Amino acid sequence: MQDLGIKVLFMGSNFERLLDGLWVTIHISILSVLLSILLGILLGIVMTSKNIVVKAVTRVYLEFVRIMPQLVLLFIVYFGVTKTFGLHLNGETSALIVFTIWGTAEMGDLVRSAIISIPKHQRESGLAIGLNSSQIYRYIIIPQTLIRLIPPAINLTTRMIKTTSLIVLIGVVEVLKVGQQIIEANRYTVPNATLWIYGTIFFLYFFTCWPISLLAKFLEKKWKVN
Amino acid sequence: MKKFLAILATVIMGASALVGCGSKDASVDGGSENLFRTVDEIKSSGTVKIGVFSDKKPFGYVDENGEYQGYDIYFAKRIAQDLGVELEYVSTEPASRVEYLKTGKVDIVLANFTVTNARKEVVDYALPYMKVALGVVSPESALIKAPEELNGKTLIVVKGTTAETYFTENYPDVKLLKFDQYADAYNALIDGRGDALSTDNTEVLAWAIQNPGFAVGIEEMGNVDTIAPAVTKGNASLKEWIDNEIISLADEQFFHKDFKETLEPIYGSNVNVDSLVVEGGKVE
CATH code, domain with B248: 3.40.190.10
* Closest B-chain CA to A195: B187
Q: Does B74 lie in the same domain as B97?
A: yes
Residue B196 belongs to a domain:
yes
Q: Does B140 lie in the same domain as B125?
A: no
User: Contact at 8 Å (CB) between B33 and B47?
Assistant: no
Which residue range is the domain that position B67 belongs to?
34-129+228-275
Q: Does B125 lie in the same domain as B161?
A: no
Could you report the per-residue pLDDT of A97-109, keeping only the tens digit for each? 999 999 999 999 9
Q: Which strands make up the sheet holding B130-139, listed edge to edge?
A: B175-179, B154-158, B196-200, B130-139, B214-227
**What's the pLDDT score for residue B28?**
39
Nearest to A161 by CA among A206, A219, A198: A206
b (16+ CB within 10 A) / e for A145-162? bbebbbebbbebbbebbe
Contact flag A67-B180 (C-beta cutoff 8 Å): no
Q: Does B165 lie in the same domain as B113?
A: no
Task: Identify residue B46 by its one-letter amino acid code.
Answer: G
Residue B21 belongs to a domain:
no
**What's the pLDDT score for residue A146?**
86
> Between vectors from CA B22 to CA B21 and to CA B27, what angle results, nearest 5°?
100
Q: Does B87 lie in the same domain as B195?
A: no
Phi, psi of B190 (to 5 degrees): -60, -40
Mutate to test the interface with B, among A68, A83, A88 (most CBs of B within 10 A): A83
Residue B107 belongs to a domain:
yes
CA distances from A148 to A7, A30, A37 (A): 46, 21, 14
Residue B142 belongs to a domain:
yes
Q: Is any Cβ of chain B less than 8 angstroms from the Cβ of A82? A: yes
Confidence label for A225 from pLDDT (cuts 50, 70 and 90): low
Q: Does B257 lie in the same domain as B206?
A: no
Contact flag B64-A13 (C-beta cutoff 8 Å): yes
Residue B173 belongs to a domain:
yes
Strands (E), chain B: 47-52, 55-56, 60-62, 68-69, 86-91, 108-109, 123-125, 130-139, 154-158, 175-179, 196-200, 214-227, 230-232
Q: Is any Cβ of chain B less than 8 angstroms from the Cβ of A170? A: yes
SS3 annotation, chain A: CHHHHHHHHCCCCHHHHHHHHHHHHHHHHHHHHHHHHHHHHHHHHHHCCCCHHHHHHHHHHHHHHHHCCHHHHHHHHHHHHHHHHCCCCCHHHHHHHHHHHHHHHHHHHHHHHHHHCCCHHHHHHHHHCCCCHHHHHHHHHHHHHHHHHHHHHHHHHHHHHHHHHHHHHHCCCCHHHHHHHHHHHCCCCCCCHHHHHHHHHHHHHHHHHHHHHHHHHHHHHHHHHC
Residue B117 belongs to a domain:
yes
Residue B28 belongs to a domain:
no
Distance CA A170, CA B214 (A): 33
Greater model confidence, A189 or A48: A48
Mean pLDDT of chain A: 89
DSSP B192: T
Nearest to A112 by CA among A139, A140, A149: A149
**What's the pLDDT score for residue B165?**
92
Contact flag B35-A11 (C-beta cutoff 8 Å): no
Contact flag B103-A169 (C-beta cutoff 8 Å): no
**At a CB cut-off of 8 Å and minimum separation 6, what does B13 contact?**
A56, A60
* Domain count within chain A: 1
Comparing CB atoms, the residue among B28, B66, B181 nearest residue A83 is B28
**What's the pLDDT score for residue B133?**
84
**What's the pLDDT score for residue B21?**
42
Task: Identify residue B22 by its one-letter amino acid code.
Answer: G
Greater model confidence, A222 or B239: B239
Q: Does B179 lie in the same domain as B48?
A: no
Using 50 as the pLDDT threshold, list the residues of chain B that sit under it: 1-2, 4-5, 7-33
Q: Is any Cβ of chain B less than 8 angstroms from the Cβ of A84? A: yes
Task: Identify residue B55 by its one-letter amino acid code.
Answer: D
Contact flag A82-B105 (C-beta cutoff 8 Å): yes
- Boundary-marking domain end, from B224, B240, B259: B224
Greater model confidence, A2 or B256: B256
Could you report the per-residue pLDDT of A172-221, keeping only the tens digit for each? 999 999 999 998 888 777 777 888 899 999 999 999 999 998 988 888 88
Comparing CB atoms, the residue among A14, A52, A83 nearest residue B64 is A14
Q: Does B185 lie in the same domain as B166?
A: yes
Q: Does B253 lie in the same domain as B113?
A: yes
Comparing CB atoms, the residue among A60, A83, A184 nearest residue B56 is A184
Which residues of chain A have a CB within 8 Å of the CB of B103?
79, 82-83, 88
Which residue range is the domain that position A57 belongs to?
2-225
Which residues of chain A have a CB within 8 Å of the CB of B9?
56
Q: Does B140 lie in the same domain as B83?
A: no
* Closest A-chain CA to B102: A83
CATH number reported for the structural domain that contains residue A50 in this entry: 1.10.3720.10
**What's the pLDDT score for residue A3?**
57
The complex scores an ipTM of 0.75
Q: Does B124 lie in the same domain as B200?
A: no
Nearest Cα of chain A lies from the Cα of B32 at a distance, in angstroms, of 6
Distance CA A222, CA A212 (A): 15
Which residues of chain A have a CB within 8 Å of the CB of B12?
none
**What's the pLDDT score for residue A188?**
73
Contact flag B57-A88 (C-beta cutoff 8 Å): no
Residue B16 belongs to a domain:
no
Which residues of chain A have a CB within 8 Å of the CB of B62?
181-182, 185
Distance CA A136, CA A142 (A): 8
Nearest Cα of chain B lies from the Cα of A196 at a distance, in angstroms, of 14
Nearest to B185 by CA among B276, B94, B60: B94
Phi, psi of B144 (to 5 degrees): -95, 120
Contact flag B62-A185 (C-beta cutoff 8 Å): yes
Q: Is any Cβ of chain B less than 8 angstroms from the Cβ of A188? A: yes
* Domain count within chain B: 2
Which residues of chain A have a CB within 8 Å of the CB of B99?
75, 79
3-state secondary structure of B146: coil
